[in-house]
Structure 1
């Protein structure tokens, strides 16, 4: 069975589910779900794919308990380019307690995997024969275990020991949740019995629309991490041309040391509490990507953030980007350097176009990519596999 929570299907709650505004929403037959996230709250995938659903799911009688495998120390070390080994060792030291936590819950909601870099047999032992579990992917994570192109020794070793891990987990999962159609196609090909296409979404309550006051500098914005910032370099000639033509800046959120020669770069730190306010300082949000197996599995979340703030977007036509952007209405898809330059000039030189696209972008997110729209469908899917 396959379910899509996507596009025009997600505007209303499924029949028979409670409203989030219901004064007495908790069901007598509460379902206990262990959120086995890969990261703690600093990890974007864990925060957005699982943790942000805890409160809305509680209104449907689904009680979620977070249990991250890796701490915030791991994420901080990753972004600061420090050794992650201490955080990894600490994570495995905590792992024995996971068995008891699993036994105390009805369903285990696994982000990617329970035990990184260990074969599926270890996870089968932890889960036992009877524990229902959900497997959640927001990236092409299966490529990490030697399935990406190339025949290096590392790839061959990973493929031999772990290459079948995710297909093995898929075949046992009561539900596989994926962020886009590319991942869904992969899951079905590899034996997933029951899939739910659930985009990575925003909580609209945290994304107020803040109008951009008139100003002389055209601000092109990007939000991400030091790991993904190098994707911006493919736009170097385009951004340099714009900077020569008129006052232009590249606003970079979350990658404090990344710069592009010849382009005025302004850096703002990322935090969960300020990300919407910093996005509001952009005139347009961008998401350039190469077209490869990894990027085709990405969820396109930064585009959704820009649009939630009422900002037009430009993205490479790769993976989920082609679905999120309504080309010519909420923003543009751009492939070549000429495409990017033409579209950025249009948005720079036509404030009325920016405003029209801003309104359309916010509406599209509210309908298709908001927690308020997706949570009821997720609750329905969880209750279905629980048989309640």
Structure 2
């Protein structure tokens, strides 16, 4: 069969984790796949030409992709959230009419921004794929054909981190993510400052820019920043001993978020400390792969416990990898997605 993926942007996390990794496995199963990606991404603009011209470029790019899709004649269009990050639906409707089957992927609370558009997208789809139970519950108000496929990693790409034979004297606590999420580190910064007064560690931050760090008080912490790129992503993760995933508890959007960072940490075999919001709460409920932390004392005690116990880190990391292999990897979910796309 022929599948056309209409996605948000080459470096948008949801595109990278929910669409790209499935292309090769589906191709190996005899399907023909095309990925049409917004340029610039639906959230970005090119500074040299400004917002208005960037939008015109996106629009022209999408129209070209629609023309390519007409020639490709897909059996199924797999649409990521929507063609544009605005209220418009006109091109979504064009793609809908182009293929016998439309599958909508919802991995975030887009309905908080565009409630009417999201409802209409759901209703005009043949099937909806969601990344977690809270999103499932929302979509179920408007559609009966829903499949939950969590945001996953490829086991082939996310290799298990080897346990160092000579561990460094200063363990590395790490965070990796987009600049928009970097300010969330403020929620665990007091615990990190307190921890740094008692124990030696390095805080490794991996992101596109360090600018948001200026607003976070990390005084007294041995801080190391590395610029993110797909080429070094796995290498930087392998340098970490403990992962961080703080989230604000007062934002509705957060309870619908995928546990992407947590899954990345688990996939390479390291434990994490994370805010117990949304999917995180389910993953961390039995403290087998990491710890949940809601306030400063919990962040401090959880990080301190992991920092001082390398064996515990290893056991939790091993359990996390096993969980990823059973539920949060492409290999465990490819059959389900293929079935949805085929209809």
1:70·1:88 contact (CA, 8 Å) conserved in 2? Answer: no
1:34·1:65 contact (CA, 8 Å) conserved in 2? Answer: yes
2:175·2:205 contact (CA, 8 Å) conserved in 1? Answer: yes
Which of 294, 309, 329 is the equivalent residue of 2:253?
Answer: 294
Please say if 1:254 is aligned against 2:207: yes
- Tell me what 1:142 maps to: 111
Please say if 1:205 is aligned against 2:162: no
Query: 1:83, 1:324 → 2: CA distance?
Result: 41
Within 5 Å, which residues of 2 pair with 1:180-191?
180-189=132-141, 191=142
- Tell me what 2:118 maps to: 166
- Tell me what 1:95 maps to: 62
- Tell me what 2:7 maps to: 37
- Tell me what 2:322 maps to: 363
Query: 2:225, 2:48 → 1: CA distance?
Result: 18
Question: Could you say what the CA RMSD is over the residues aligned between the two structures, in angstroms?
Answer: 2.2
CA deviation map 1:144-191 (0-9, x unaligned): 23xxxxxxxxxxxxxxxxx411101101211111111111111112x1
Which of 144, 163, 179 is the equivalent residue of 1:193?
Answer: 144
Q: Report the secondary structure of 1:204's partner residue.
A: coil
1:34·1:101 contact (CA, 8 Å) conserved in 2? Answer: no
- Tell me what 1:220 maps to: 173
1:178·1:196 contact (CA, 8 Å) conserved in 2? Answer: yes
The alpha carbon displacement at 1:229 in A equals: 0.1
Query: 1:92, 1:75 → 2: CA distance?
Result: 13
Which of 313, 316, 321 is the equivalent residue of 2:280?
Answer: 321
Please say if 1:124 is aligned against 2:93: yes
Query: 2:128, 2:194 → 1: CA distance?
Result: 45
Query: 1:346, 1:261 → 2: CA distance?
Result: 20
Query: 1:129, 1:64 → 2: CA distance?
Result: 15
Q: Report the secondary structure of 2:56's partner residue.
A: helix
Q: Which has the higher contact order (CA 8 A, sep 6+)?
A: 1
Q: TM-score, normalising length from structure 2?
A: 0.90
> Quick one: structure 1 residues 272 and 99, their matched pair in 2 at CA, closer, same or farther if it must change by over 3 Å?
closer
Number of aligned residues:
333
- Tell me what 2:80 maps to: 111
Please say if 1:271 is aligned against 2:224: no
Question: Runs of 5+ in structure 1 lacking a partner?
Answer: 1-30, 146-162
Query: 1:204, 1:192 → 2: CA distance?
Result: 32
Query: 1:192, 1:118 → 2: CA distance?
Result: 20
Query: 1:252, 1:55 → 2: CA distance?
Result: 31
Query: 1:119, 1:218 → 2: CA distance?
Result: 48
Query: 1:286, 1:268 → 2: CA distance?
Result: 16
> Quick one: structure 1 residues 182 and 232, their matched pair in 2 at CA, closer, same or farther if it must change by over 3 Å?
same
> Quick one: structure 1 residues 82 and 220, their matched pair in 2 at CA, closer, same or farther if it must change by over 3 Å?
farther
1:171·1:193 contact (CA, 8 Å) conserved in 2? Answer: no
Which of 276, 288, 306 is the equivalent residue of 1:347?
Answer: 306
Question: Runs of 5+ in structure 2 lacking a partner?
Answer: none
1:102·1:108 contact (CA, 8 Å) conserved in 2? Answer: no
Q: Report the secondary structure of 2:333's partner residue.
A: helix
